[in-house]
Amino acid sequence: MIARVEFLRSLGAATTIATGGFDVWDPLTPQIRVLVAADTGGAMPQVAPDATFAFGGKRWRGAPSTIGMPGGRLALVTTIDVDEYLLGVVPLEAPPSWPAAALQAQAIVARTYALGRRSLSRPYDVRADDADQHWGGVEAEVPAATAAVQATRGRTLTYGGSAASVYYSSCCGGRTADVTAVWGGTPQVYLRGVDDPHCVAAPDYRWTRDVALDRVLAAFGPRTGGTLASAALGDADAQGRARAVVLSGTVQTSIPVAEFRRALGYEVVRSSWLRGIRVESTQAAPRLVIEGSGRGHGVGLCQWGSRFYASSGASAAEILAFYFPGTSVSGG
């Protein structure tokens, strides 16, 4: 999530590069290259007359091509109009039963994100999995999400006349995260944390997870001397989010929260906002108890907050102005 549309714009709107046959900035031909498979395993896409192709048990849109990857692998990439791509993204990122305004806000953010990932430094722009945005192909498309994409066609988020860098996650837990606190880098006015009263009814607004001590030691035992006696949250950032988890065994070690989440799994440590952590050794099976708020990194759009905000009558533009202060919806 590092590439910036501003970089592409600086090359000039008329610049055409050998990147799959499309102009990298021309808004009239907003195409992207989606990595469908990093390794085809020798299988080839089966192109159909209706501008779709079959691969991996699914149907996809766009013009497929294979590209060489390190290690002699062949990857499958499709060049596709960004809105055709969004038809299979929006229903997987925001349930079709959600209010139309929430689906439209998701479509605008997903479009802005995808166009912002266009890059000359690699042979594709976005992946078809959760590393970027989950794209389910033709079978994922549903009428409600299609209507949201069509209603917002060409619309993206901008800040100060330039394309905005946008992110989203499932639930912020009551306050979105400052982008610099999560990933570092250059501060962005519209990616600072905002108090969010809208997601209080979300399933992961507050959560608790128990992790067997054996699993924790498998991940961090070499850094704690092979034992774990206690756990605590480290120093907090300006928004009150702990930056690290402190594990104490024979040796004490500090684990950045992002690394802690990766090691134990995102289904276990559901967000980067940890509220408490402790070792429960009185149980028959010792465990680490983790408490937190929200689900995901928490930067930008809170999807559950968007859902409930839309239910109260907010428009897509109002939702986006709340989560990305100072931005505007442009185009369309």
| Same structural domain, 256 and 120 | no
- For residue range 189-204, list pLDDT tens digits in order: 999 999 999 999 999 9
pLDDT of 281 over the 90 cut? no
| Same structural domain, 156 and 213 | no
d(C-alpha 141, C-alpha 110), whole Å: 15
- For residue range 174-229, list pLDDT tens digits in order: 999 999 988 888 899 999 999 999 999 999 999 999 999 999 999 999 999 999 99
pLDDT of residue 29: 54
| Same structural domain, 186 and 213 | no
| Same structural domain, 187 and 274 | no
- 274 closest CA partner among 253, 249, 295, 254: 295
The mean pLDDT of the chain is: 90
High-pLDDT (> 70) share of the chain, %: 91
- For residue range 219-258, list pLDDT tens digits in order: 999 999 999 999 999 999 888 899 999 999 999 999 999 9
| Same structural domain, 223 and 318 | no
| Same structural domain, 23 and 154 | yes
pLDDT of residue 219: 97
Number of domains observed in the structure of the chain = 2
Mean pLDDT of 119-124: 90
- Residue ranges making up the domain that contains 304: 5-200+298-330
pLDDT of residue 238: 84
- For residue range 69-96, list pLDDT tens digits in order: 888 899 999 999 999 999 999 999 999 9
pLDDT of 265 over the 70 cut? yes
pTM over the 0.85 mark: yes
List the beta strands (DSSP E) in the chain: 31-37, 46-47, 52-55, 58-61, 63-68, 74-81, 126-127, 156-159, 162-163, 168-169, 206-212, 230-233, 244-248, 252-256, 273-280, 287-293, 301-302, 328-330
| Same structural domain, 227 and 164 | no
| Same structural domain, 287 and 307 | no
Alpha-carbon Rg for the chain in angstroms: 22
**Residue 206 CB neighbour total at 10 angstroms:** 15
| Same structural domain, 22 and 170 | yes
| Same structural domain, 273 and 303 | no
| Same structural domain, 139 and 222 | no
Mean pLDDT of 129-140: 95
| Same structural domain, 171 and 140 | yes
